[in-house]
Amino acid sequence: MSKQLVMGNEAVIYGALLGGATHFYGYPITPASEIVHAAAYYFPLAGRSFLQAESEISAINMIYGAASAGSRAMTASSGPGISLMAEGISYMAGAELPAVIVDVQRAGPGLGYIWPEQGDYNAIVKGGGHGSYRNVVFAPNSVQEMCDFTCRAFDIADAYRMTVVILSDAYIGQMMEPLVLPAAVKKGRRKEWAVYGDRESRRNLITSIYVSPQVLSDLNIKLQEKYHRLEAELVEYEEVETGDAEVVFVAFGISARVCFSALERLRQQGCKAGLLRPKTLYPFPRKRLAALAPGVEKFIVVELNNGQMADDVELAVAGRTPVLRYNWYGGIIPSADMIVGKVLSDMTPATV
């Protein structure tokens, strides 16, 4: 199809509609507001349902209800709004309900401001709410992936009966790039476990309340088995120039784009740099990082936070390769030149 110049946040809604989304419930918050605006316009035009909730807490509980009834439901927000949704997301995990959530990260903690950051990593990748649960987490680094990952997310959510989160940042959400739309429109199927209000689904029950310790234990064991299966079936990443790399960047979102420019400049200066960009933050490409570790002098994890993904990289390489942490906060995005200068300084042996 022909390319269109589209904002990342708007591309989410194109991907959602083509992915078969039927219901959008949300509350606007910068820098994710354009997602709600686009949903308010395009969902009714496509014969789908849109409702602006009175709060993020209301929105996530509306998602719970719609997903229970077999709908392909979604919402979008940013850090403060996602925090308000945390309880509802945990309830959905306990009830094994599929849904799609987009988090366009802003600087924090607290109210922070609308500049880009990646400080929601732990909250989203490690769970965020109470209990032992996981979300599938995609990390787009382009407008095209904002659309494509959202389009795919509904099939994945239904297949595993769990929440899929598109973890973006303000830079990716606000930028405009050419977009090629998916060619086909997907549709969800009837779900044998959902409550449709008819004879066939009359005995179905959606709940996350289990008053028996053994029954709740069995549920948790079932969830962990599902997550282990997910780790074997859905790990996605991109590698650039890792074959002969001395130093490998590990980064996602806007940080990965800056690292791509940095590695090109480093190679021009004789430093063999590569990049591993996780497309899925959960499941995380730990096995691939472990396989790269013996041939790499250093991993450099570039993040707009306090090194949250670096913890997972260190666990993956298990001390076999040094892991350096390059961190920025408050909405500051490093330039490629800043990263190049820091790498060359760290790769040069200290003189006495």
d(CA 40, CA 42): 6
Q: Are 31 and 53 in contact (CB under 8 A)?
A: no
Is the domain defined by 237-347 classed in CATH 3.40.50.920? yes
Give the pLDDT score at 1.
Answer: 57
Give the pLDDT score at 128.
Answer: 83
Give the pLDDT score at 339.
Answer: 98
**Domain segments of the chain as ranges:** 4-233, 237-347
Give the pLDDT score at 349.
Answer: 64
CATH architecture group of domain 4-233: 3-Layer(aba) Sandwich (3.40)
Contact partners, residue 14, CB within 8 Å, separation at least 6:
6, 42, 147, 179, 181
Contact partners, residue 7, CB within 8 Å, separation at least 6:
34, 143, 173, 174, 175, 176
pLDDT band with cut points at 50, 70 and 90 for residue 348: confident
Structure tokens at 258: 């800056």
The per-residue pLDDT for range 165-208, each reduced to its tens digit, is 999 999 999 999 999 998 889 999 999 999 999 999 999 999 99
Q: What is the pTM for the complete model shown?
A: 0.96
Instruction: Output b/e per residue, 182-217; b: 16+ Cβ within 10 A.
Output: beeeeebeebeebbeeeeebeeeebebeeeeeeeee
Question: In the predicted model, is pLDDT for residue 350 greater than 60?
Answer: no
Same fold for the domain at 4-233 and the one at 237-347? yes
Instruction: Output b/e per residue, 114-153; b: 16+ Cβ within 10 A.
Output: bbbbbbbbebbbbbbbeeebbbbbbbbbbbbbbbbbbbbb
Give the pLDDT score at 352.
Answer: 37
Question: What residue type is 307 in one-letter code?
Answer: G
Q: What's the rounded mean pLDDT across residues 17-32?
A: 98
State the chain's mean pLDDT as an integer: 96
The per-residue pLDDT for range 86-116, each reduced to its tens digit, is 999 999 999 999 999 999 999 999 999 999 9
* DSSP states along 166-180: EEEEHHHHH-EEEE-
The per-residue pLDDT for range 264-274, each reduced to its tens digit, is 999 999 999 99
How much of the chain, in percent, has pLDDT values that exceed 70? Answer: 99
- Which secondary-structure segment (H or E) carries 280? strand 280-282
Residue appearing with tokens 């859905």: 234
d(CA 277, CA 299): 12
Question: In the predicted model, is pLDDT for residue 59 greater than 80?
Answer: yes
d(CA 147, CA 9): 9
